[in-house]
Amino acid sequence: MTHSLKVTLQASAVLLASVFTTACNRADDPGLEYAPEMYASLPYEPLKQEQSNKINPMGLNMRVPAIGTVPRGKANYYTHIAKDDIATAETSLRNPYSYTKDALEEGKTLYVRNCQHCHGESGAGDGPVGAKFKGVPNYSVGTYKTMNDGHIYHVIQWGKGRMMPHGSQVNPQERWKIAMYVRMLQQGKGPDGMTDFLKASGVANASVADSSQTTDSQTQAPVQEAQADKASQTPGAGDKARNGTAL
């Protein structure tokens, strides 16, 4: 090995070692920056925390919303009824939607997607999950047969017992339609009782073609509305000012 090559390798090793030593000094140090104000804003930014904020509490740029603040367009998500106060929900919440064939069919589709795995196809509490864990009620017996729309809506939103809240999964409009379908299942006739339920409710043109069908028997494609490939027409919002207001 020539003297010049040896010197070059030694110099390279020293340079490399100095680079590694500098890089490991501080993990959060980006090194030399040109015009750092372009990266680290001098004014406080709500979604970025560069240094302690000397004005806001806790030194944070982000502020906690004022007590009682409701996000824009979400007023109807808040009924101001405590999650354990089902009695108030029963007497205060009113279903703003009419019982129609379309509403019940959409409620059925939503029920199949969100509820049937526990409560079963006919609402007897015999779904695959309900059969395993037990304790899932039968809608058509005892006091469960008399639950009104407000009661069902409130339980969907907040949960009850071992049932977890579903308020983040279905918007207010969808909760009311699921509640309608559950009211139909309270008759104890399962999905096939939809026609009789609509006739008893005085709905004209109440006939339903194969009310238990959720997929096409030939193509296995989804039928009816609000299927897995169809988003809600009002995602996350429901219908404005019609989603059940506490009186």
pLDDT band at 186 (very low <50, low <70, confident <90, very high): very high
Q: Residue 65: phi, psi to the nearest 5?
A: -60, 150
Neighbours of 34 (CB within 10 A): 6
pTM above 0.75?
no
**pLDDT at residue number 25:** 60
**pLDDT at residue number 1:** 54
Query: 173 or 226: whose pLDDT is higher?
Result: 173
Rounded CA separation 76/246 (Å): 10
pLDDT band at 247 (very low <50, low <70, confident <90, very high): very low
What phi-psi label fits residue 68: left (phi over 0), alpha (psi between -120 and 50 degrees) or beta? left
Query: 178 or 206: whose pLDDT is higher?
Result: 178
To the nearest whole number, what is the mean pLDDT of the chain? Answer: 79
